[in-house]
Amino acid sequence: MKMVWAIIRPERLKEVTDTLKDAGFPSLTEFSVRGRGKQKGIVIGGMKYEKLPKELLTLVCRDEDVEKILDIIVKTGRTGNIGDGKVFVLNVEDAITIRTGQRGIEAL
Ligand SMILES: Nc1ncnc2c1ncn2[C@@H]1O[C@H](COP(=O)(O)OP(=O)(O)OP(=O)(O)O)[C@@H](O)[C@H]1O
Ligand SMILES: [Mg+2]
Q: Which of 57, 64, 58, 56 is nearest to 1 (CA)?
A: 64
Nearest CA to ligand 1 atom 6: 37
Q: Is the CB of 79 under 6 A from ligand 1?
A: no
Domains of the chain: 2-107 (3.30.70.120)
User: In the beta sheet, which residues pair with residue 58?
Assistant: 5, 29
Residue ranges of E strands in the chain: 2-8, 29-35, 42-44, 47-49, 52-61, 85-91
- Predicted pLDDT at 42: 87
pLDDT given at position 4: 98
User: pLDDT (tens digit, 0 to 9) for every residue of the chain, 108 residues total?
Assistant: 999 999 999 999 999 999 999 999 999 999 999 999 998 888 889 999 899 999 999 999 999 999 999 999 999 999 999 999 999 999 999 999 999 999 999 999
pTM of the model: 0.95
The reply to whether ligand 1 has any atom less than 6 angstroms from the CB of 35 is yes
pLDDT of the residue at 41: 87
CA distance 28 to 65: 14
Buried/exposed code over 31-63 (b: 16+ C-beta within 10 A; e: otherwise)? eeeeeeeeeeeeeeeeeeeeebebbbbebbbee
